[in-house]
Structure 1
Amino acid sequence: MAMTGVLRPGHAQLRVLNLEEGVRHYRDVLGMVETGRDAQGRVYLKCWDERDHNSLILRESDRAGIDFFAFKVLDEATLDKLERDLQEYGLTTERIPAGELMETGERVRFEIPSGHKIELYATKTQVGNGLQVTNPAPWTPAAEKGIAPVRLDHCLLYGPNIAEVKKLFCEVLGFYLVERVLGPDGEGEAAIWLSCSHKVHDIAFVEHPEPGKLHHLSFLLESWEEVLRAGDILAMNKVPIDIGPTRHGITRGCTIYAWDPSGNRFETFMGGYQPYPDYEPTTWTFDGLGEGGGLDYPQRKLHESFLTVVT
């Protein structure tokens, strides 16, 4: 598909209870590259194969969770158009000046009906992935540090009003519905998976009474063997694991979910299929989430912690 409009997930700002513990986890265990620290005390990181300066920002706080999740758009004209479209839709937008985040241009921030803050931006300094652009090698030494995911892939957010969230993302931002879980009564949608590309999802939402909650940030690996290796590394570093290694029925992704030192859940993920906007969305019944293997295909059961623990 033509890459226009909203391109991809760009960055997330995460709250951690102890900054240096968080940095050690994401830099040394997960294997991200630290790219800077700012006057506010925030720490910036990127996955080794990402070109842009940062995809994860850590901020110390007295409570864990997510401050905002951002998407990169094609160019400044696209950013201006989407800001107007959001305002015409009835949302209040805020322009964050260039440089408020290190090496990042102006951002348009808005709050969605689930209580989450979403950002759009068009420019961020490209620092590269450590490979030359002519006749490059396939990887760098950074690809061997820790789990070493290749990119920030997606997030799952919990909050209310996801029917309104879906309408906003699909009608204004150009996303499309890939998969969904129906509510227990067979009416309405309890969970939705949305894409702005031909990835199986770029963002997902679950209906939840508390607004603004984070279920997980997901980091992409390239093979099932790398997911299994991630499990070894997590175990060697005594990182508590929620689920996995396993495979979802939903999205067909292979995965491990675990918690960082602050209790924020993160995912090491690979697989999934490549949908297009003309595909009919896949529908799961609420029973299918458990007995049908939607959540955990091999065990075909629900995991209470996965459904209830959010930050």
Structure 2
Amino acid sequence: MAMTGVIRPGHAQLRVLNLEEGIHHYRDVLGMQETGRDDQGRVYLKCWEEHDHSSLVLREADSAGLDFFAFKVLDKATLDRLDGRLREYGLPTERIPAGEMLETGERVRFTLPSGHQIELYAEKTRVGNGLGHVNPNPWNAAAEKGIAPLRLDHCLLYGPNVAKVQEIFEKVLGFQLVERSLTPEGDANMGIWLTCSNKVHDIAFVEYPEPGKLHHLSFLLSSWDKVLRAADIMSMNSVPVDIGPTRHGITQGATIYAWDPSGNRFETFMGGYTVYPDHEVLTWTFEGLGEGGGLDFAQRKLHESFLTVVT
């Protein structure tokens, strides 16, 4: 699939209750690399396989949760074009100047009807993955630290007005609906899984009465063995686990859900199928989320925490 607009998830700014605890969790347990700190007190991290400067920004605050989630776009012309499309649709946008985040160019920020702030940007300093571009090795020593995810893969956000959110992502930003789950009545989408690439999803939303809630940030691992290794590392470090290790019916990915020290849920994820433009949307009934194995294929169970615990 030729990606000529939004190309992939870029970064998330996450609120943590204790910055040092958050740094320890994401740098030392999850195994991300710290790449900088700014004069606002924010800490920047990246996964070892990511080439850009940062994909996660931590900010200490009185409440946990997500400040914003960002996507990288192809180039500056694409950023301007999508900014115009958003405004034509009726969504106000804010241009945030280059340098407000370390090593990051100008950003376009807007607020979804679900209450979430989304950003688009085209430029971020490339720092590489330590392997170079000529005859590179398949991995480096940094990959052995902690759980060592390859990249920030996707997020799941909870909030109202999922139907309007779907319209914005499909009609304005050019995303593709991959899977959906229905309400208990079966008359509307309760959850939507969307991609801007050929991954099984780059972002997902679930209908929820409170706006702007984070369900989880997801970090990609390379194999089922790595997911099981992540479970060991979580146990060794007393990381509280929510669900897993198990497999989803939705997206067909293998997973563990757990919480960071501030109560933000994160996921270690691998798998999923390849999506092409002619993909037929997969539909899950509300009953299928549980007994059909949509959430937890091994137990065929809909865990209450998955529907109720958000930050």
Q: Same fold (TM over 0.5)?
A: yes
Paired residue for 1:206?
206
Q: Distance in 1 between matches of 2:290 and 2:138?
A: 39
Paired residue for 1:175?
175
Deviation of residue 215 (structure 1)?
A: 0.1
Deviation of residue 277 (structure 1)?
A: 2.2
Paired residue for 1:240?
240
Paired residue for 1:99?
99
What percentage of residue pairs aligned between the two structures are identical? 77
Q: SS in structure 2 opposite 1:250?
A: coil
Q: SS in structure 1 opposite 2:124?
A: coil
Q: Distance in 2 between matches of 1:244 and 1:44?
A: 28
Paired residue for 2:123?
123
Q: SS in structure 1 opposite 2:251?
A: helix
Q: Deviations over 1:110-148 (max 9, x none)?
A: 001100000000000000001111001111110000000
Deviation of residue 306 (structure 1)?
A: 1.3
Q: Distance in 2 between matches of 1:277 and 1:185?
A: 29
Q: Distance in 1 between matches of 2:4 and 2:152?
A: 20
Paired residue for 1:163?
163
Q: Distance in 2 between matches of 1:204 and 1:121?
A: 20
183-192 vs 273-282, which deviates more? 273-282
* Structure 1 runs not aligned, ≥5 long: none
Q: Distance in 2 between matches of 1:132 and 1:156?
A: 33
Paired residue for 2:40?
40
Q: Distance in 1 between matches of 2:78 and 2:90?
A: 18
Paired residue for 1:230?
230
Q: Distance in 1 between matches of 2:84 and 2:186?
A: 36
> Cα RMSD over matched residues?
0.4
Q: Which runs of 4+ in 1 moved over 4 A?
A: none
Paired residue for 2:23?
23
Query: 1:1-311 to 2 correspondence within 5 Å?
Result: 1-311=1-311
Q: SS in structure 2 opposite 1:251?
A: coil
**Which amino acid is 1:256 matched to?**
I
Q: Deviations over 1:249-290 (max 9, x none)?
A: 000000000000000000000000011122110000000000
Aligned length: 311
* Structure 2 runs not aligned, ≥5 long: none
Q: Deviations over 1:85-112 (max 9, x none)?
A: 0000000000000000000000000001
Q: SS in structure 2 opposite 1:131?
A: coil
The normalised TM-score by structure 2 is 1.00
